A and B are shown apart, each in its own frame.
Chain A
Amino acid sequence: MRRILSSVTDGRGFDILLVSITMIFLLALSGMPLVYNVVMSFQEVDMFNLNTFSRPYAGLENYREVVSQPEFGLILKNTAFFVFGSIAGQFVLGFALAMFFMMRFPFAATIRGVFLVSWVMPGLVVGALWGWILAGDFGVLNAILKGIGVIDSTMFWKSDPRLSIWAVTIANIWLGLAFNMMLLSVGLAAIPRDLYEAAELDGANGWHRFTTMTLPMMRSTIGAVLALGLIYTLQQFDLFPAITEGGPANSSNVAQYWAWQYSFLLFDFAKGATVSVMMLGFVLIASIVYVWSTRHEVRG
């Protein structure tokens, strides 16, 4: 009895217990829905067979139909724009801010903390906020751009098909900026100061120090930040209903919002599942990059 008990409290038994709780949790709440989703994308699903698992097998029919939709190309393009625009904006601005706050000026840490406000705010709130900022006739952004003379006429960020994808992308950059900055700050703080001093004495100027010390030392952090950025951007949903609802005429629609529209507006669950399975492929690649880049976090 005591042997069993001690194996639970400090032996392998306890380890196995902890791991299995996690595994059961993951399998039940992530694994199963995932598999169910994939299965559904190969089936014919309608309102009558929604509550059964054995539905007619559709082969690749759902995929063929999704791909042949007239809006497919546009949404693909928009998704790529949204994802890469967001990641590029978040990363470059986040890196710049992280470097800026590494300089020791009064209240640097406090101000950096305040930046996190954008990250802790719910996406819908951020969406509503940016909805007002970007509003055509009375929006703050237009007022500022007009005031400093960048534009002459009113820009209809949310209703102009050429601008609407910019509207959601800008909002998303703002939303993810703080998160990027925080992760990159941690990476920067982990680089020993004397490396920079040694490089400086070796003759490196600021640009050299950035390219030959900061970037290589940050390689794993950068990989992780970019991969997480891709994952979070593909997950970003709240901004779309709050700002443009994917419109006008799908000009700001992206895959994740499209999948939701299929499933919960058109009740075409099979196509909704199909779109999300296609996205799964991209997220999987990002996840592999993330795991790979954080595999040796120990610095030499």
Chain B
Amino acid sequence: MTPQIEIASVDKHYGAYHALKDINLTIPRGAFTALVGPSGCGKSTLLRSIAGLESITSGNLRIAGTEMSGVPPRKRDVAMVFQSYALYPHMNVLGNLTYSLRFKGFNKEQARKKADEVAQVIGLTELLERYPRELSGGQRQRVAMGRAIICEPKAFLFDEPLSNLDAALRVHMRMEIRALHDRLGATSVYVTHDQVEAMTMADHVVVMRAGVIEQQGAPLELYDNPANKFVAGFIGSPAMNFLDATVAEDGRSARLEIAGKPVLPLARTLQPGREVTVGLRPEHLRIDTAAPRLQVPVRVVESTGSLTYSTTETEPELMIVEQGRGRYRAGETLPLTIAPEDIHLFDPTSGTAL
């Protein structure tokens, strides 16, 4: 796969603040890449650096093989969809769509023709004469996308484009953006703080924290093999449960540091007596009345009908998700088990996966 965007050893300082630390990232042509992380992790800064709206302090940034440091945004041939949409309020939809074309030597007729094509693609044909203030949130979002695709850029950059939409529309637009990406064969970089968006939309997910890439890879790869405790806790919903534990004398099981000191068998051998952090995904903890590995009292049970979320009385508390309606109520004791290969182990000090 040809790389479309190559980022090598990129650093960014804002005065004393180190916003991006040695970022290395290659985005293949046609890929949908999500940058995800909590706020302040540097994902937006990285995206804006690709766009040229922020300058990088050191390192290399190439788009389609051309070095971009020092190149102004207008010459980078990338398009961005902003969180606020940044539609031009004094222009109607047609004006918004064709604004970039006037700098590319299109005449009025050609621009109109092109705008009609794009409007067709994103379903805006009826709205070309409207002004942004007369559009709904979803329609504004579409105009912002149309404005991005009309100039056929080398890359699409999305900066949390769905965060201003309501939940139902967000799920819908998620699919629409991904479908549009596939149809255009575009290269997209998508910034979001919502790991569900990242997991469902992207081919490649980059998890960032405090200016550092913690892990990157295919969505399920991150889910199955998180490189550290941060990624493990960030990917997956509800979040992974973490418990302190000690490796038992046989080296093949771990004793959890909660009431009753239950022992879980491990899929591998570790040094006996070693302290570890055990990560258990809520959906991997199963109710098992026949041979339960741990018995925990339930404090709260919440059911959506299709799924039941139980929170335990233990310290720290555990979250368990089960399919369908729960059989246990608050105050009762849950008999639980977990497959040894579903248990994640981390070093308690560094947080790295073992």
Contacts and interface: CB of A to CB of B under 8 A. Distances in A.
- A, B assembled together: yes
Interface of A: 192, 194-195, 197-205, 208, 212-213, 216-217, 219, 299-300
A212 B95 CA distance: 11
Interface of B: 51-53, 72-74, 76, 78-80, 82, 84, 86, 88-90, 99-100, 103-104, 131-133, 147, 151
Contacts of A203: 74, 100, 103-104, 151
Contact of A216 (B53, B90, B103, B131): B90
A300 B84 CA distance: 13
12 contacts: A194-B82, A194-B86, A195-B88, A197-B51, A197-B73, A197-B80, A199-B88, A200-B73, A201-B79, A202-B74, A202-B147, A203-B74
A197 B87 CA distance: 11
A205 B103 CA distance: 9
A48 B72 CA distance: 77
Contacts of A212: 88, 99
Contact of A198 (B86, B104, B151): B86
Given A192-B84, A194-B84, A199-B99, 18 more contacts: A195-B88, A197-B51, A197-B53, A197-B73, A197-B82, A198-B80, A198-B86, A198-B88, A200-B53, A200-B72, A201-B73, A201-B80, A202-B103, A208-B103, A217-B89, A300-B90, A300-B131, A300-B133
Nearest to A200: B73
B3 to A, nearest CB: 21
B103 A299 contact: no
Contact of B86 (A192, A205, A216, A219): A192
A197 B131 CA distance: 20
B51 A201 contact: yes
Contacts, number: 63
- Per DSSP, chain A at the interface is helix
Contact of B89 (A199, A205, A300): A300
Contacts of B80: 197-198, 201
A194 B84 CA distance: 8
Nearest to A195: B86
A42 B34 CA distance: 78
B53 A202 contact: no
A217 B88 CA distance: 9
Contacts of B103: 202-204, 208
A208 B72 CA distance: 15
B88 A213 contact: yes
Nearest to B104: A203
B88 A201 contact: no
A201 B73 CA distance: 5
Contacts of A200: 53, 72-74
A219 B89 CA distance: 12
Residue picked from B78, B90, B132, most chain A C-beta under 10 Å: B90
A198 B132 CA distance: 15
B151 A202 contact: yes
A212 B78 CA distance: 20
B45 to A, nearest CB: 14
Contacts of A198: 80, 82, 86, 88, 147
B89 A299 contact: yes
Contacts of A194: 82, 84, 86
Residue picked from B53, B78, B131, most chain A C-beta under 10 Å: B53
Contacts of A192: 84, 86
A20 B51 CA distance: 57
A192 B52 CA distance: 18
A296 to B, nearest CB: 11
B74 to A, nearest CB: 5
A246 to B, nearest CB: 44
A203 B89 CA distance: 18
A219 B91 CA distance: 13
**Closest 3 A/B residue pairs (Cβ):** A300-B133, A203-B103, A202-B100
Contacts of A299: 89
A299 B86 CA distance: 13
B9 to A, nearest CB: 25
A197 B100 contact: no
Residue picked from A192, A201, A212, A213, most chain B C-beta under 10 Å: A201
A277 B78 CA distance: 60
Contact of B74 (A204, A213, A216, A217): A204
B89 to A, nearest CB: 4
A194 B133 CA distance: 17
Contacts of B52: 201
A161 B162 CA distance: 67
